[in-house]
Amino acid sequence: MKDYFSEEPFACRDGCGLNALDPALRSILNQGREKFGRPLVINCGCRCKKYNAAVGGADHSAHLPAEKVDNLCHGCDIKVLSDITRAILHKIFCDLGIRRFEVSNKHLHIDNATWLPRPILASVTFKGVPET
């Protein structure tokens, strides 16, 4: 499988150097990108605790390194600006096994943090996450 992504979009946005996306999630993203047939813009990947707090992320956000599991980040926000694109991506990633989604008017959050509760909307909210 071709790797469509550089390292940069997954790195923590505050410049701390954290860049530890779960390779399994990266593989799913690549498969999704392949099916989608168009570039996927990553709004947010890994977050350190400081940055997660700064953007109002949940305490147990899948963007944080999973300290009790593998110390990898298991969440990713994909930029979406239309309902149709969001629905297409939701279907693609659902077919690829993703079961945790969060929707906003600017992104689709996906994660493979299977140890976190589902559905994500009942357990996770994001406030003021900066969009790029």
Closest to Zn ion by CB, 16 vs 103, is: 16
Nearest to Zn ion of 5, 51 (CB atom): 51
Closer by beta carbon to Zn ion, 44 or else 116: 44
Residue with tokens 């980040």: 73
Q: Is residue 48 involved in binding Zn ion (CB under 5 A)?
A: yes
CB of 12 to Zn ion, least distance (A): 3
Both tokens assigned to 9: 């979009």
**Kind and range of the H or E run holding 30:** helix 23-36
> Looking at the DSSP assignment, which residues form a beta bridge with residue 76?
110
The C-alpha atoms of residue 89 and residue 110 are separated, in whole angstroms, by 10
90 contacts 102 by C-beta, under 8 angstroms? no
Q: Hey, what amino acid is at 41?
A: V
> How near is the Cβ of 16 to Zn ion at its closest, in Å?
3
Considering only 4, 14, 90, 99, the residue that binds Zn ion (CB under 5 A) is 14
Provide the residue count of the chain: 132
Nearer of residues 47 and 86 to Zn ion, judged by Cβ: 47
The residues in 107-126 that bind Zn ion, with binding defined as CB under 5 A, are none
- Residues in touch with Zn ion (CB under 5 A): 12, 14, 16, 18, 48, 51
